[in-house]
Amino acid sequence: MDHKLWGGRFSAPTAEDMALYNDSFRYDVRLAECDIVGSIAWAGALEEAGLISADERDQLVQGLGLVRMEFADGRFVAMSSDEDVHTAVERRLGELVGEVALKLHTGRSRNDQVATDMRLFAIGAARLVGDRLQGLQLALLGQAERHTATVMPGYTHLQRAQPITFGHWCLAYVEMLERDRHRVEDAITRARTLPLGAGALAGNSLGVERERLTELLDEFDAVAGNSLDAVSDRDFVAELLFAFALTGIHLSRLAEDMVLYSSAEFGFIELADEYSTGSSIMPQKKNPDSMELLRGKSGRLIGNLVGLLTTLKGLPMTYNKDMQEDKEPFFDSLDTLDLGLRVAAAAVDTMEASPERMRAALDDAMLATDLADELVRLGVPFREAHGKVGRLVRRGIELRLPLRELPLAEFQAVQPEFDEGVYAIFDFARSVARKDSLGGTAPLRVSEQCARWRDLLES
Ligand code: ARG
């Protein structure tokens, strides 16, 4: 038997391919829980509007509870006529409670229903991603705390620039991820506007109290003020997909650093075996696949965002079936980040940093700025100091000597006031300790930041 919600005016059945094309149950089944939560509230509102009796409401609520349990424990049996999750829930409800199920859809449309379901789902999804982001932040923080004073090369243009601390590098990503967390939370605030009760597009004429629905559904704190906008708005999906895509971009940068740093050429970190894989032909290989996937999957996160924006572009008011295409990209981005962030957190947590290899990659030329700063302290204008140190660097290259091995005469040739004390500059620990401006790489500052993050992330 066909359980279509709309068969009445049709004389021919849906073509097989059309059904395949149209049906969304295979993926929107993920909305089942949200759909049922929304329907329970709707049944309550119907009763309060005097459209069903208290007894009928109880039967509906009880039946919806049973359907909910079937979905939760995997007992729900789908039928080929289950066009979408809304149809499936109503069909099963009818089988369980009989006739009264026919009253549930009073004054409601799948248009306001699906918009409500998606918002509820998106709020939960955003919370999950927020938690996962925090998990990765905590893993990075753990490494930062272990390495507040571990000195490594800092890069610009991927060229050695100035010494930094490894803890400082870790915390840079904690900052990035914090912005991602805020973006996700911010998107939730706009997802909390309730479309239910907007009907198909024009509102409901049966006296269902929309304000009351926000009390019955605690995720919502306001009702949508325009019924047309209520059923046609998918901004909250796009916003979250953007937040997820930007997170993906941040993760790809973290991953790229870790791919580089785990190569033999750098050797700054070693990933745990659990988060690496081998080669089928080269027995010696240990590949950073966890990080390569993290980097690579940013592509689909961006694709899902661009795909949805393209779907929404130019849609006429109000609901259009195009909008069914919001679900798969959203679910895909959610799943991609959920697992990706779990793997990233564990890979970061279990990686071994090598302070020796970091130290070995430092060279004296990275202290050229420190040398110029020293000249500034002697009263030389910085632009001139820059030129003088540049000449010293060139002399080092010509003589094939690291800066610290240049004879004092070379230093005095550019600045006569230089004395033996100049050699004290060639101390990487001293260099980072001096970068003690707020937000700087000095171990003292990094420790302060660690304490701040520990507080923030654990409260
Ligand atoms: N499966 C649809 C979607 O995801 C539900 C809404 C259908 N509404 C309609 N008028 N056909 O958008």
Closest by Cα among 38, 34, 56, 8 to 198: 38
110 lines ligand 1 (CB under 6 A): yes
For residue 86, the number of C-alpha atoms closer than 13 Å in the C-beta half-sphere is 20
Give the architecture-level CATH label for domain 364-458.
Orthogonal Bundle (1.10)
8 Å CB contact between 240 and 126? yes
Q: Whose CA is nearest to atom 3 of ligand 1?
A: 324
CB contact set of 402 (below 8 Å; sequence gap of 6+): 363, 364, 365, 396
Q: What pLDDT score was predicted for residue 2?
A: 66
The Å distance, Cα 280 to ligand 1 centre, comes to 47
Please, what is the Cα angle at 419 between 415 and 163, to 5 degrees? 80
Tens-digit pLDDT profile for residues 45-82:
999 999 999 999 999 999 999 999 999 999 999 999 99
Domain ranges of the chain: 16-106, 111-360, 364-458
Query: CA 174, CA 254: separation in Å to the nearest integer?
Result: 10
Predicted TM-score of the model (pTM): 0.95
- Long-range CB contact pairs, 202-205, < 8 A, 24+: 202/227, 202/228, 203/227, 204/107, 204/108, 205/107
Q: What pLDDT band is residue 285 in, cutting at 50, 70 and 90?
A: confident
Q: What pLDDT score was predicted for residue 5?
A: 81
35 lines ligand 1 (CB under 6 A): no
For residue 62, the number of C-alpha atoms closer than 13 Å in the C-beta half-sphere is 10
Across residues 297-317, what is the average pLDDT? Answer: 98
pLDDT(299) > 70? yes
84 lines ligand 1 (CB under 6 A): yes
Identify the CATH number of the domain defined by range 16-106: 1.10.275.10
The Å distance, Cα 22 to ligand 1 centre, comes to 9
Across residues 373-392, what is the average pLDDT? Answer: 94
Fill in the DSSP letter of residue 287: B
Q: Whose CA is nearest to atom 7 of ligand 1?
A: 110
Q: Whose CA is nearest to atom 11 of ligand 1?
A: 321
Q: Give the residue numbers marked as catalytic.
A: 157, 279
Q: Which residues pair with 258 in a beta bridge?
A: none
Q: What pLDDT score was predicted for residue 281?
A: 86
- How far does CA 279 lie from the centroid of its chain? 30
The Å distance, Cα 231 to ligand 1 centre, comes to 10
pLDDT(447) > 80? yes
114 lines ligand 1 (CB under 6 A): yes
Query: CA 238, CA 187: separation in Å to the nearest integer?
Result: 10
Query: CA 114, CA 39: separation in Å to the nearest integer?
Result: 11
Q: Whose CA is nearest to atom 4 of ligand 1?
A: 324
8 Å CB contact between 29 and 4? no
The Å distance, Cα 334 to ligand 1 centre, comes to 21
Residues in the chain: 459
Q: What pLDDT score was predicted for residue 101?
A: 98
Q: Residue 17 class from Cβ within 10 Å (0-12 exposed, 13-18 middle, 19+ buried)?
A: exposed
What angle, rounded to 10 degrees, do the helices at 85-97 and 54-72 form? 120
Tens-digit pLDDT profile for residues 404-429:
999 999 999 999 999 999 999 999 99
Q: What pLDDT score was predicted for residue 308?
A: 98
Mean pLDDT, the chain, rounded, equals 96
Tens-digit pLDDT profile for residues 115-125:
999 999 999 99
Please, what is the Cα angle at 81 between 75 and 86, to 5 degrees? 70
The Å distance, Cα 114 to ligand 1 centre, comes to 7
Tens-digit pLDDT profile for residues 183-214:
999 999 999 999 999 999 999 999 999 999 99
Superfamily of domain 111-360: Fumarase/aspartase (Central domain) (1.20.200.10)
Across residues 271-284, what is the average pLDDT? Answer: 91
Q: What pLDDT score was predicted for residue 7?
A: 79
Tens-digit pLDDT profile for residues 312-368:
999 999 999 999 999 999 999 999 999 999 999 999 999 999 999 999 999 999 999
Q: Express as a percent the part of the chain with pLDDT over 90.
A: 95
Tokens describing residue 90: 């109503």
Indicate which atom in ligand 1 lies nearest the CA of residue 84: 1
Fill in the DSSP letter of residue 422: G
pLDDT(1) > 60? no
